[in-house]
Amino acid sequence: MAGPIPAEATGVLPAEALAQAVAPPCLLVLFGASGDLTRRKLVPALYRLFREKLLPAEFSLLGVSRTSFSDEAFRGRLGEELREHAPSGFDPGLWGEFSGRLFYHPADVDDPGSMQALAKRIHDLCRERAIPGNLLFYAAVAPRFYSTVVRRIGEAAEALLGQAIHMVTG
């Protein structure tokens, strides 16, 4: 007589493993926020993680690029993309909940002065959203910008002091 089917065999992780899979609270600072990778892949992937309850409650994303968007316009643009290209997975209520965690800050990484305002926005968001000093910078920009992005983060190091900083490219 066969016993119960192990959870792994059903493709569903056991509850303890799922709990461990949830990342610690963080602010994802996403350079290249107006770009194709963000719109078509990164944000839809994060939305799916949110739907599966695999994002921490305090997770927030701050998009950065030169194009001028309000937070609302940024959210609207990303929501349209999801609604059009993944209509079966799009739940307006869930999207509303998720998109409330998305923020936008216009900045040009070629501008050496750009990080002061960005560092302040990061600081304010971490405080408002109760994110305990854990920053993930994602450079979704052309590879020629990677070193500039790293330099800009370095320039803001003093303002970001006390925060754990992680970096992802492309």
Ligand X SMILES: NC(=O)c1ccc[n+]([C@@H]2O[C@H](COP(=O)([O-])OP(=O)(O)OC[C@H]3O[C@@H](n4cnc5c(N)ncnc54)[C@H](OP(=O)(O)O)[C@@H]3O)[C@@H](O)[C@H]2O)c1
> What is the sign, positive or negative, of the torsion defined by CA atoms of 152, 154, 159, 161?
positive
- For residue 130, the minimal CB distance to ligand X (Å) is 28
Q: Is 100 helix (H, G, I), strand (E, B) or coil?
A: coil
Q: Which stretch binds ligand X (CB under 6 A): 7-15, 90-98, 107-115, 155-163?
A: 107-115
Best CA proximity match to 33, nearest among 77, 91, 97, 89: 77
The smaller minimum CB distance to ligand X, of residues 26 and 115, is found at 115
Positions 9 through 68 that interact with ligand X (CB under 6 A): 31-37, 40-41, 65-67
Nearest residue relative to ligand X (C-beta): 35
- For residue 132, the minimal CB distance to ligand X (Å) is 27
- Determine, following the binding rule CB under 6 A, whether residue 73 of this chain makes contact with ligand X: no
Among 55, 109, 126, 131, binds ligand X (CB under 6 A): 109
For residue 63, the cross-strand partners are: 30, 104
Quote the strand ranges of 11-163, DSSP E: 27-31, 60-65, 102-106, 134-139
Name the strand (E) or helix (H) holding 85: helix 71-85
Positions 74 through 103 that interact with ligand X (CB under 6 A): none
- For residue 99, the minimal CB distance to ligand X (Å) is 18
Give the end-to-end CA distance of the chain in Å, rounded to a whole number. 51
Positions 115 through 154 that interact with ligand X (CB under 6 A): 140-143
> What is the sign, positive or negative, of the torsion defined by CA atoms of 153, 123, 74, 166?
positive
- For residue 15, the minimal CB distance to ligand X (Å) is 33
Residues that bind ligand X (CB under 6 A): 31-37, 40-41, 65-67, 108-110, 140-143, 170
